[in-house]
Amino acid sequence: MDTKLIEDIWEDSPKSIEELEKLSLHSILLALGGYIAIGIGTLHFLLTIIEEFEYIRIFYLIINIVFGFALLLSYHRINVDTRKWALLALIFSLVLISLGGIVGGLAGLVGLLGGILAMLVTLNESFDI
């Protein structure tokens, strides 16, 4: 894997509320969806694995981490080619909703809303939130 890409995404991703306030709404939602999938998905896995070990929870964790990172990648690249990365964000969000369990569903809904808003920006340039 390209470590330069991971470093670029880490440097570009918002790390505070002040940085989030400067972004457009679709970028906020994409970053938030990625953070929910990775952060809360990992925490949910750790808390539920204590109760009872099930293999499906490992599957949920892997899906949440991989597609949460994909949402962060979409956030990072959305300004380069908005239509392409908005469509990919929609696909990543749908995968999270369908395969990511409870946390993946929540992160997918947030990412789906961000992808829809980004697609609306590409359809009408005056629609910029």
71-100 pLDDT, tens digit per residue, is 999 999 998 888 999 999 999 999 999 999
Question: Coil, helix or strand for 53?
Answer: coil
Enter the tokens of residue 27: 């970028």
List pLDDT tens digits, range 47-74: 999 988 889 999 999 999 999 999 999 9
CA distance linking residue 30 with residue 87, whole number of Å:
12
CA distance linking residue 64 with residue 68, whole number of Å:
5
By the 10 Å C-beta count (0-12 exposed, 13-18 middle, 19+ buried), 29 is classed as buried
- Nearest of 30, 21, 113 to residue 79 by alpha carbon: 30
Read off the pTM: 0.89
Which pLDDT score is estimated for 12? 85
